[in-house]
């Protein structure tokens, strides 16, 4: 079984220095670091096995197609999809969400309908729905979060109406880091006849996802947050929806037959993959998801749990620190910690931590409505991955204290 | 102190510190030392656009010289604007408008800030230059 130090050796960036200090990378919720297996595959496909997928009969093209379609099978298996035909490749989570908004919206949303979106969503799972609602004359409704950052699931039955065409919620918010009770949410929504889209941008990193067990209608994520090549994304959709949705873009590979006047379209998933896809990037999802499974099991997962508990306890004990996303039980929290410190600006803290070698995020975290909800202009976010060690967590806590002392 | 001397003084002060953390500690001190800013002057038109944190800049023309005051909700940003003010306050509009602001590059602050914050720093310099041109 792999240990944390075995794993760290596979992420060369973890040995980088910044201002002469070892890099402590705590901005994993923005993008993960990349393991050698991913970069080597990308390099090999680009330098030695480059060919376009699907069309040609030559050896390298069929190999490229095999790599690409193997990735589809691997993703389907990783998230427990019923069929690889339910996996659409996109350029990222934002593209996946926009695809659903455009295509599901075109087929199923009309004037007076409603889209229900959680208050804690990333802008990528909010703005596409605003655009759809404006275009269709539909209403955007907000499922609120309470003071602790918990989704107000008890309000869900009364908020869902026969006009609610889709409920959109992240399984884990990129700010709050709480595991939302998505199985319960899907059950309640389905009882009311409303399909559910789960934004899995953070969930795919920290959870063992099983879309069939969850029974969600859509599940979306980016490759780059889960160790794969940037520019890769996944949209899982139940077959019945993907079949009923019109394509987003017209062009190569999404067609069945083309005549001058009109065309017929390919079956899903290819219907949604017009143009040359990310042929070097998509196959990297295979080693990337393998890495995710390794990191979320055994000794490494146990260590990640200990790191989370340590940081959570330390932050809760900090005087003047307000943590957003307070879990009932520690296990409800993933190691994404967003907070403010009384009398200290989040940007100042981030700048000083940077000079100590620690990469964190500051600002609105692409979730302005949530900032408004909590009455803050921004937060500081430290987001850990399983390759972060307890020593790094301790250094972060010590450095945070030092930075606050400098600023107060 | 001439403009040239004031700029050199800032460069010298900065070069005293080897560690970036210490340079930032110095910026924090500068920020703390900034003279109080009238709360009622924290208005939209005095806000410098393009900064991550909010920065207000106010000015007055006295005996043909420009005097600046500023504030920010972030202390390091306050330190940075304080540094600019210490160099350009009490100069004639023509002198400020004709300056290249290149000393900021010499202290290496730009390489050390993220692109959005470099944008913020540039906005601060542009605002000072614009005020000078208006009054020149």
Average pLDDT value over all residues in chain A? 96
Domains by residue range for chain A, with CATH:
4-30+297-407 (3.90.1150.10), 40-291 (3.40.640.10)
Q: Distance between CA atoms of B127 and B108, rounded to whole angstroms?
A: 21
What pLDDT score does B107 carry? 83
Q: Is the pLDDT of residue B116 over 70?
A: no
Peptide bond into A267 cis (omega under 30): no
Task: Supply the pTM of this predicted model.
Answer: 0.93
User: Which residue in this structure is represented by tokens 């006009």?
Assistant: A163
Q: Distance between CA atoms of A340 and A377, rounded to whole angstroms?
A: 10
Q: Is the pLDDT of residue A309 over 90?
A: yes
Q: How far is CA A129 from CA A116, A150, A279, in A?
A: 9, 22, 29
What pLDDT score does B62 carry? 95
pLDDT greater at residue B108 or residue A234: A234
Q: How far is CA A356 from CA A242, A400, B15, B40, B115, in A?
A: 48, 10, 19, 37, 19
Using CB atoms, pick whichever of A347, A362, A406 lies closest to residue B28. Answer: A406
Q: Tell me the DSSP string of B4-23.
A: HHHHHHHHHHHHT--SHHHH
What pLDDT score does B108 carry? 77
Residue B8, classified by CB atoms within 10 Å of its CB into exposed (0-12), middle (13-18) or buried (19+), is middle
Among A379, A381, A342, smallest CA distance to A364 is for A379
Average pLDDT value over all residues in chain B? 89
CB A164, CB A195: distance < 8 Å = no
pLDDT band at A54 (very low <50, low <70, confident <90, very high): confident
Work out the average pLDDT over A68-76.
Answer: 98
- Cβ contacts of residue A261 below 8 Å, gap of 6+? none
Using CB atoms, pick whichever of A19, A347, A355 lies closest to residue B74. Answer: A347
pLDDT greater at residue A135 or residue B115: A135
CB B84, CB B125: distance < 8 Å = yes
Work out the average pLDDT over A65-87.
Answer: 97
Residues A21/A22/A27/A28 CA torsion (nearest 10 deg): 170
Work out the average pLDDT over A316-340.
Answer: 97
Q: Is the pLDDT of residue A56 over 70?
A: yes
Residue in A342, A344, A345, A380 to test binding to B, most B beta-carbons within 10 Å: A345
Work out the average pLDDT over A50-54.
Answer: 91
A10-24, A124-138, A214-228, B70-84: the lowest-pLDDT one: B70-84
Q: Which residues of B touch A347 (CB under 8 A)?
A: 52-53, 74, 76-77, 117
Q: Which of B27, B30, B48, B51 is catalytic?
A: B51
Q: Distance between CA atoms of B77 and B70, rounded to whole angstroms?
A: 10
What pLDDT score does A253 carry? 82
Q: Is the pLDDT of residue A57 over 90?
A: no
Q: Is the pLDDT of residue A296 over 90?
A: yes
Reported as a single tens digit per residue, the pLDDT across B38-48 is: 999 999 999 88
Work out the average pLDDT over A205-209.
Answer: 96
Q: Is the pLDDT of residue A374 over 80?
A: yes
Work out the average pLDDT over A37-46.
Answer: 98
Residues A341/A345/A350/A353 CA torsion (nearest 10 deg): -60
Other residues' Cβ atoms within 10 Å of the Cβ of residue A195:
22
What is the DSSP-derived secondary structure letter of residue B103?
A: H
Q: Which tokens in the block code for residue A180?
A: 């939302």
Q: Is the pLDDT of residue B14 over 90?
A: no
Pick the CATH number of B3-135 from 3.40.50.720, 3.90.1010.10, 3.90.110.10, 1.10.3720.10: 3.90.1010.10
Q: Is the pLDDT of residue B118 over 80?
A: no
Q: Which tokens in the block code for residue A185?
A: 């949410």
Q: Distance between CA atoms of A111 and A137, rounded to whole angstroms?
A: 4
Q: Is the pLDDT of residue B114 over 90?
A: no
What pLDDT score does B109 carry? 75
Q: What percent of chain A has pLDDT over 90?
A: 95
Using CB atoms, pick whichever of A345, A351, A377 lies closest to residue B24. Answer: A351
Q: Is the pLDDT of residue B68 over 80?
A: yes
Q: Distance between CA atoms of A164 and A141, rounded to whole angstroms?
A: 9
List A380's β-bridge partners, or say none: A339, A362
Verify whether the Cβ–Cβ distance A407 to B75 is below 8 Å: yes
Residue in A355, A360, A364 to test binding to B, most B beta-carbons within 10 Å: A355
What pLDDT score does A278 carry? 97
Reported as a single tens digit per residue, the pLDDT across A91-134 is: 999 999 999 999 999 999 999 999 999 999 999 999 999 999 99
Q: Is the pLDDT of residue A219 over 90?
A: yes
What pLDDT score does B113 carry? 67
List A114's β-bridge partners, or say none: A139, A164
What pLDDT score does B53 carry? 79
pLDDT band at B121 (very low <50, low <70, confident <90, very high): confident
Verify whether the Cβ–Cβ distance A406 to B53 is below 8 Å: no
What pLDDT score does B112 carry? 66
CB A331, CB A371: distance < 8 Å = no
Q: Is B63 a catalytic residue?
A: no
Q: Distance between CA atoms of A118 and A142, rounded to whole angstroms?
A: 6
Closest residue in B to A19 (Cα–Cα) = B20
Q: Is the pLDDT of residue B115 over 90?
A: no
User: Which residue in this structure is represented by tokens 């699931």?
Assistant: A153
Q: Which tokens in the block code for residue A71?
A: 């990735």
């Amino acid at each position: 079984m792999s240990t944390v130090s075995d794993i760290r050796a596979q992420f060369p960036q973890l040995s980088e220095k910044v201002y002469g200090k070892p890099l402590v990378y705590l901005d994993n919720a923005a993008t993960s670091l990349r393991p050698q297996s991913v970069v080597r595959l990308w390099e090999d496909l680009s330098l030695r096995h480059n060919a376009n997928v699907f069309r040609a009969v030559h050896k390298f093209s069929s190999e490229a197609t095999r790599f690409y379609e193997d990735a589809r099978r691997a993703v389907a298996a990783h998230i427990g999809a019923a069929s690889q035909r339910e996996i659409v490749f996109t350029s990222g989570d934002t593209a996946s969400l926009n695809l659903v908004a455009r295509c599901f919206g075109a087929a199923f949303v009309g004037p007076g309908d409603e889209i229900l979106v959680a208050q804690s969503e990333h802008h990528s799972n909010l703005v596409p729905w605003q655009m759809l609602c404006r275009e269709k004359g539909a209403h955007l409704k907000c499922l609120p979060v309470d003071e602790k950052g918990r989704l107000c699931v008890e309000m869900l039955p009364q908020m869902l109406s026969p006009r609610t065409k889709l409920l959109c919620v992240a399984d884990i918010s990129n700010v709050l880091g709480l595991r939302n009770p998505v199985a319960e949410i899907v059950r309640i929504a389905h009882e009311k006849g409303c399909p559910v889209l789960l934004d899995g941008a953070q969930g795919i990193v920290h959870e063992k996802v099983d879309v069939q067990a969850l029974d969600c209608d859509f599940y979306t994520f980016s490759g780059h947050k889960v160790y794969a090549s940037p520019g890769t994304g996944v949209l899982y959709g139940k077959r019945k929806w993907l079949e009923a949705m019109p394509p987003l873009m017209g062009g190569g590979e999404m067609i069945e037959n083309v005549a001058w006047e009109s065309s017929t379209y390919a079956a899903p998933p290819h219907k949604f993959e017009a143009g040359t896809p990310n042929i070097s990037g998509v196959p990297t999802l295979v080693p990337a998801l393998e890495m995710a499974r390794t990191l979320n099991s055994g000794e490494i997962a146990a260590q990640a749990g200990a790191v989370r508990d340590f940081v959570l306890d330390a932050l809760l004990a900090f005087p003047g620190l307000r943590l957003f996303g307070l879990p009932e039980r520690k296990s409800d929290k993933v190691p994404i910690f967003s907070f403010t410190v009384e009398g200290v600006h989040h940007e100042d803290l981030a700048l000083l931590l940077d000079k100590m070698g620690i990469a964190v995020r500051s600002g609105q975290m692409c979730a302005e409505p949530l900032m408004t909800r909590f009455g803050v202009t921004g937060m500081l976010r430290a987001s850990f991955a399983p390759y972060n060690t307890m020593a790094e967590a301790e250094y972060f806590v010590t450095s945070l204290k030092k930075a606050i002392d400098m600023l107060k | 102190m001439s403009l040239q001397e004031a700029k050199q003084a800032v460069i010298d002060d900065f070069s005293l510190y080897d560690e970036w953390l210490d340079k930032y500690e110095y910026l924090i001190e500068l920020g703390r030392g900034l003279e109080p800013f009238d709360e009622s002057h924290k208005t939209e038109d005095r806000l410098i656009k393009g900064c991550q944190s909010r920065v207000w800049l106010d000015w007055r023309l006295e005996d043909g010289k420009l005097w600046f005051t500023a504030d920010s909700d972030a202390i390091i940003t306050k330190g940075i604007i304080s540094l600019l003010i210490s160099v350009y306050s009490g100069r004639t509009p023509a002198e400020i408008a004709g300056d290249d602001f290149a000393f900021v590059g010499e202290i290496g602050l730009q390489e050390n800030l993220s692109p959005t914050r470099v944008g913020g720093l540039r906005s601060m310099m542009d605002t000072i230059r614009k005020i000078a041109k208006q009054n020149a």
